[in-house]
Amino acid sequence: MTVEAAPQESYLFQANIGKAGPQVVGGKGVRVDVKFDGKVQKGMIDAVAGAAVGALGWGDEEVYQIINDAARNSTYSYPALLSNESAEELAKFYIENSPEGVFAAALWCTSGSESNENALRIIRQYWVERGLPEKMKIISRENSYHGFTLAAQSISSNPRIDAFSPLLIDQKNICIKMPCAYTYRFKEAKETEEEYAQRLLDILENKILEHTPERVGAVIVETLPGSALGTSPPPKGYLKGIRALCNKYDIIFQLDEVMCGTGRCNPNGRLNCWENFLDPCDAPDIQTVGKTLGSGYVTIAGVLVGPKIRNAFLEGSGSIIGGHTYSCHAFNCAVALGIQKKIKKEKLPENMFKMGNLMGQKLKDKLLSADNIAGDVRGIGGFWTVEFVQDRVTKKMFDSSLNVAGRFKQIAYKNGITLICMPSVKDNVGDLAIMAPSFIITEEDVDEIVEKMVESTNELSKQLRKEGVW
Ligand SMILES: Cc1ncc(COP(=O)(O)O)c(C=O)c1O
Cα gap 430→440, rounded to integer Å:
30
User: To 5 degrees, how large is the angle CA 64–CA 67–CA 71?
Assistant: 140
Q: What is the pLDDT of residue 322?
A: 85
Cα gap 304→116, rounded to integer Å:
11
Among protein residues, the one with the nearest Cα to ligand 1's atom 8 is 112
The one-letter code for the residue type at 406 is G
Cα gap 277→293, rounded to integer Å:
21
Buried-exposed string 170-197: b where 16+ CB fall within 10 A, e elsewhere:
eeeebbbbbebbbbbbbbeeeeeeeebb
CA of 146 relative to ligand 1 center, distance in Å: 5
CA of 227 relative to ligand 1 center, distance in Å: 9
Of ligand 1's atoms, which has the minimum distance to the CA of residue 222?
A: 1
Q: What is the pLDDT of residue 6?
A: 62
Q: What is the pLDDT of residue 330?
A: 98
Cα gap 234→61, rounded to integer Å:
38
Q: Is 310 left (phi over 0), alpha (psi -120 to 50) or beta?
A: alpha
Contacts of 146 (CB under 8 A, 6+ apart): 112, 113, 116, 140, 152, 153, 155, 156, 220, 222, 256, 258, 288
Cα gap 281→44, rounded to integer Å:
43
Whether 147 lines ligand 1, by a CB cut-off of 6 Å, is yes
Of ligand 1's atoms, which has the minimum distance to the CA of residue 227?
A: 16
CA of 258 relative to ligand 1 center, distance in Å: 6
Q: Are 47 and 418 in contact (CB under 8 A)?
A: yes
CA of 288 relative to ligand 1 center, distance in Å: 9
Among residues 192, 196, 210, which one has the least CA distance to residue 241? 196
CA dihedral for 238, 239, 244, 245, sign (positive or negative): positive
Q: What is the pLDDT of residue 450?
A: 98
Among protein residues, the one with the nearest Cα to ligand 1's atom 16 is 259
Of ligand 1's atoms, which has the minimum distance to the CA of residue 260?
A: 1
Cα gap 136→127, rounded to integer Å:
8
Among residues 341, 320, 123, which one has the least CA distance to residue 216? 123
Strand partners of residue 32: 27, 44
Whether 27 lines ligand 1, by a CB cut-off of 6 Å, is no
In tens, the pLDDT along 244-268 reads 999 999 999 999 999 999 999 999 9
CA of 112 relative to ligand 1 center, distance in Å: 5
Among protein residues, the one with the nearest Cα to ligand 1's atom 7 is 112
The CATH number of domain 348-466, selected from 3.40.630.30, 3.40.30.10, 3.90.1150.10, 3.40.50.450? 3.90.1150.10
The CATH number of domain 66-345, selected from 3.30.365.10, 3.40.830.10, 3.40.50.970, 3.40.640.10? 3.40.640.10
Portions of the chain given CATH number 3.40.640.10? 66-345
Strand partners of residue 252: 218
* pTM metric for this prediction: 0.97
Of the residues 53, 113, 299, which should be mutated to test ligand 1's pocket, given the most ligand atoms within 8 Å of the CB?
113
Of the residues 254, 259, 274, which should be mutated to test ligand 1's pocket, given the most ligand atoms within 8 Å of the CB?
259
Q: Are 464 and 374 in contact (CB under 8 A)?
A: no
In tens, the pLDDT along 90-135 reads 999 999 999 999 999 999 999 999 999 999 999 999 999 999 999 9
10-residue averages of pLDDT along the chain (470 residues) = 66 87 94 93 97 98 98 96 97 98 98 98 98 98 97 96 96 98 97 98 98 98 96 98 98 98 97 98 98 98 98 96 94 98 98 98 98 98 98 95 97 97 92 98 98 98 97
Q: What is the pLDDT of residue 8?
A: 78
The one-letter code for the residue type at 68 is N
Portions of the chain given CATH number 3.90.1150.10? 348-466
